[in-house]
Amino acid sequence: MALDPLRVYPLTFADGTIHPNMVHLNRVIDHPNISVGDFTYANDFDPPPAPHHDWAARLAPYLYPGASERLVIGRFCQIAHGVRFITASANHAMDGLTTYPFPVFDPATIEGYKAAFQGLPDTVIGNDVWIGHGGLILPGVKVGDGAIIGAGAVVTANVAPYTIVAGNPARLIRPRYPQATIEALLRLAWWDWPIDRIRAAIPALLQADIARLQALASDGA
């Protein structure tokens, strides 16, 4: 099975044509406030247009270069059409009598307004996270490894590893596995293995064969 983190377009059909709507995000995003791990892809029915193909602006439209917060996404994540990360710079000041950002519209005051937004929380997505169609991740949320975010979910709070959440606001639907299995998977952290061992582990991963996965981990120790 082909796994190449350097490819922009990871999906090639049987006739040899590529799927242009799916990209490895760290191949197409160059943004100082965004970090994306290998093999994490986004698939969008309406991808950002040429010539810039600005996936950073598509996914995190309020995160400007030099902001005090970051968007960090792990390895092997799967991001569906319409997903948005609303990072902390999108917030308005709420300590006055209005939330209208008057200083933004005056060149003499905009820099001072921006400087007031310091120490903002990062948004952090773990490894092997599936964010379904139209998922909305709000500022400062941390999503654990192996979590699934249901289609249309509005995630306002942290999501535990290997849990499924859905709804608005997103709520726990169920853990994906028993707690002992979750703890074992987190210890194994297969997404950090060398690529050859990950290739060997693909059948175990697809068949939920944790014993085989543990054996592969031991073989590579």
- pLDDT tens by residue, 30-62: 999 999 999 999 999 999 987 678 999 999 999
Q: Averaged over 122-141, what is the pLDDT?
A: 98
Q: What is the pTM of this model?
A: 0.94
> Is residue 92 among the annotated active site residues?
yes
The SS3 of residue 54 is coil
At residue 174, φ and ψ (nearest 5 deg) are -175, 160
pLDDT of residue 20: 92
Of 19, 53, 81, 92, which one is the catalytic site residue? 92
Query: Per the omega criterion (within 30 degrees of 0), is the bond before 169 cis?
Result: yes
The SS3 of residue 104 is helix
Name the residue type at position 103. P
pLDDT of residue 111: 83
Distance CA 202, CA 186 (A): 17
The mean pLDDT value of the chain amounts to 94
Indicate whether 1 pLDDT > 90: no
Find out whether 84 and 59 touch, Cβ atoms under 8 Å.
Answer: yes
The residue behind tokens 């293995």 is 193
CA distances from 10 to 40, 100, 117, 198, 210 (A): 10, 43, 37, 16, 26
Residue pLDDT, tens place only, 181-206: 999 999 999 999 999 999 999 999 99
22-176 placed in CATH 3.40.50.1100: no
Q: Averaged over 84-109, what is the pLDDT?
A: 92
Q: 100: Cβ–Cβ under 8 A, 6 or more apart, which residues?
A: 92
When pLDDT is cut at 50, 70 and 90, the band that residue 180 belongs to is very high
CA distances from 20 to 3, 57, 59, 133, 135 (A): 17, 18, 17, 18, 21
SS3 content of the chain, % helix, strand, coil (to 5): 25, 20, 55
Percent of all residues in the chain with a pLDDT value above 70, rounded to a whole number: 98
Residue pLDDT, tens place only, 57-94: 999 999 999 899 999 999 999 999 999 999 999 998 88
104-113, 120-129, 197-206, 209-218: range with lowest mean pLDDT:
104-113
Cross-strand bridge partners of residue 32: none
Q: Map out the domains of the chain as residue ranges.
A: 22-176, 177-221
